[in-house]
Amino acid sequence: MNYSFNEARPALEVFHTGDSVYAYNLLGAHLVNWNGRNGCVFRVWAPTARSVSVAGEFNNWDNNATYMYDIGYGVWEVFVEGVEEFCAYKYCIESEYGDRLMKADPYAFHAQTRPGQASLVYDIENYSWNDGEWLNKRKENNISSSPMNIYEIHAGSWRKYPDGNFFNYQKLADELIPYLKEMHYTHIQLMPIMEYPYDGSWGYQATGYYAPTSRFGTPSDFMTFVDRLHCEGIGVILDWVPSNFPVDDFGLAKFDGSPLYESNDPKTSKRDSWGTCLFNYARFEVTSFLVSCAMFWLDKYHIDGLRIGALSSMLYLDYGKSEGEWEPNKFGGKENLDAVDFVKRLNTAVHMYHPDVMMFAEENTSWPKLTHKIEDGGLGFDFKWNMGWMNDMLHYMSLNSMWRPFNHDSLTFSFYYAFSEKFLLPISHDEVSHGKGALIKQMPGKYDEQFAGVRAFITYMYAHPGKKLVFMGTEIGQFDEWNFNEAIQWDLLEFEKHKKLRTFFKELNKFYLDCKPLYELDAVWKGFDWIHHDDYTNSVIAFKRTDKNGDEIVSVCNFQPIRRDEYCIGVPKFGLYDEVFNSDEERFGGSGVVNGKNIKTESMKIHGFDQGLSLTLPPLSVIYLRCTKELEPDEVQK
């Protein structure tokens, strides 16, 4: 939609009140035909500017050639005849102090590749989508009771050409889609794809909130990438950063010469530890900018979910700040009330227009009711990243086995709050960077034991309530910490252990998708029961997962590198049990200690049951068991 001058007036008012969800139709650069003349209408919000002009290739970058008109509410406009797609431009903004600032368009749909800083005129309305079947299926699907196994990637370093150059969106799709299907992932999550100037920020300091990065191609190329994934049954989740933005002189910082997208209060306008500015959620036009941005990726790129990173830094006024660097809210608390209101507006808008889209919160405190409905006092997210689980388990798994008995609570605590929110269990890029080392490198012991540790941990993770996310490279056992400048070390698959580890991930992913007890009742107590949780001396736990039909999977976890023979656990049914998955199988690189099929229960009073199983627990392993045939107690004794 391109607004004429008269049509823009109502849209301006909605933008000004903070209620706009389509501000990108009003602001930015739009190719139009006005009164028979082809060209481009430019609009930008710069309320304290003395004057604004647009300079670009069409006027030889003359700052004085094309001045814009103030059309109200701080928005400036000009129509320029003859401007065509891919034309580079910037706004020259004269501040109230007389300075002239060259700024990229906050609403630009395309941008030059760094080190270029200019915006590019682009028509995003010409792409013909082919993913109607996927979108219809998405509307019908209840994601809460469906499997979700996410593969997180950094587009610039999943694979690269031998000379170190990036894959473009087309080549990335060519290589990535067959791999995702082979490995049985349901979704990908892309680290920020919005345009950003500094590679070392990994995309978390964006300057083009409405522009997919041109490092890998055009906006239409990115649409094709998403479209192809959808046509192959794979969802796409994006990292999105509404918390902070960089201070680059061509970006949002002091956009019209004064604090605009940020606050004018130094205590709320910046985060010194990150070297960035913080969005001013108290300003309605900023709310319109951000909410419309989220809607833009859902509307124009058919994105299936947005993950809000660093949510805690938004919700708390004192986050990362020392005494004297922040002021309490009007009630004397540390909660950022404007940010809370923004989050509610955001999730309300998204779920109003796209009820089948997922909103994820990365929040590392115990802020209550993140995934509860707003009308019930919640913030309206669909899933919360379970950072507590992640921190506890990585701490536990990194311990020498002799210290695990003294840290048993790290293993069991997460189950006691597992249903307070709708959780996702993340082993993300943050857990394999910042000097932490790759996941396998965090495992104690010698070479074989490190692989066994990864297999046991991941098999336990897939049985734990919550959706799943694993960062690229984890599945092949890359020992080196992730480096955004280098591709994943795929040549490791020439070595047997690494190849078998990938086979393990492939088979576990497939088992997860086929096993309803592991996902169908993820968010309610009905889907989980303890069997055995207090054998801290042996570092063993056992629990069962249940689906809506009452079918069960029993998970037994041994976190010591010691084989345990005749280890007894209680089970809910008399009968025959099969071992349906074992992280220690030889084909996965394990020692091959297995229990097999048709394991008979025995009469015993144990763990609150009248029957149990005598098992062999492989060293450092997790096994899954399923009752394949129920019997009467006297039949079992025969």
Q: Which two three-digit tokens encode residue 16?
A: 């000004």
* 218 within 8 A of 285, measured Cβ to Cβ: no
Q: Determine the Cα–Cα distance for residues 75 and 70; give it in Å rounded to an integer.
A: 6
Beta-bridge mates of residue 190 = 153, 238
d(Cα 134, Cα 420) in Å, to the nearest integer? 31
For residues 358 and 306, what is the distance between their CA atoms, to the nearest angstrom? 7
- Give, in order, the Cα–Cα distances in Å from 469 to each of 108, 115, 346, 516: 31, 33, 24, 18
In DSSP terms, which residues pair with 624 in a beta bridge? 555, 581
Type of residue numbered 2: N
Cα separation values, 48 from 68, 253, 335, Å: 14, 14, 30
Residue 106 CA to residue 481 CA, distance in Å, equals 34
CB-based contact 581:624 (threshold 8 Å): yes
Task: Write phi, then psi, for 120 (nearest 5 degrees).
Answer: -125, 135
Considering the candidates 77, 94, 195, 362, report the single residue annotated as catalytic: 362
State the Cα–Cα distance between residues 564 and 561, nearest whole angstrom. Answer: 10
- Tell me, what DSSP letter sits at residue 557? E
Cα distance from N-terminal residue to C-terminal residue, the chain: 76
What's the order of all strands across the beta sheet hosting 609-617?
564-570, 609-617, 602-606
Is 362 noted as a catalytic residue in this protein?
yes
Strands (E), 381-454: 383-385, 423-427
Tell which residue, 276, 278, 274, 308, has the closest CA to residue 291.
308
447 contacts 421 by C-beta, under 8 angstroms? no
3-state secondary structure (DSSP) of residue 173: helix
Q: Please identify which residue in the block is written with the tokens 């990438």.
A: 225
Instruction: List Cβ neighbours of 392 (8 Å cut-off, separation of 6 or more).
Output: 410, 411, 413, 414
What dihedral angle (degrees, nearest 10) is formed by the CA atoms of 486, 491, 493, 496?
-130
10: phi then psi, degrees, rounded to nearest 5: -60, -40
Closest CA to 43 of 482, 32, 35: 32
How many helices and strands in the chain, by DSSP H and E? 14, 31
> How far out from the chain centre does Cα 93 lie?
36
Closest to 551 measured CA to CA, from 521, 590, 525: 521
Catalytic residues: 362
